[in-house]
């Protein structure tokens, strides 16, 4: 699934693009000049394509690497509700 991700780090909003998503976390493609240290709290908001559902989740950065002209930031979700986890799990299921 690819979708736009609105994320907030240290009170500052940023935009990114999802690369990989599942019930436990997400990898976000972000601007290369905005590094984020592991263990940094992050808030994410994104619309699940084709569902009309917007998710707002908190997370913790687990990795942040520069890849060419962008960064790949791995984020573990924290405190997701069972309903949110179920929605994220459906994204991986064959349709």
Tens-place pLDDT, residues 42-78: 999 999 877 888 999 999 999 999 999 999 999 999 9
Pairing of strands 25-31, 41-48: unpaired
In a domain, 95, yes or no: no
Output DSSP code: residue 14: E
Q: Is residue 68 part of a domain?
A: yes
pLDDT beyond 50 at 83: yes
User: How many domains are contained in the chain?
Assistant: 1
Residue ranges making up the domain that contains 62: 4-90
Say how far apart CA 34 and CA 25 lie, in whole Å.
Answer: 20
């Amino acid at each position: 699934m690819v979708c736009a991700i609105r994320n907030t780090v240290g009170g500052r909003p940023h935009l990114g693009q999802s690369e990989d998503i599942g019930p436990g976390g997400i990898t976000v493609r972000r601007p290369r000049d905005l590094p984020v240290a592991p263990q940094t709290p992050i808030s994410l908001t994104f619309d699940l394509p084709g569902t009309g559902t917007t998710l707002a989740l908190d997370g913790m950065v687990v990795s942040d690497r520069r890849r060419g002209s962008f960064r790949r930031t791995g984020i573990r979700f924290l405190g997701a509700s069972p309903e949110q986890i179920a929605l994220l799990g459906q994204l991986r299921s064959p349709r």
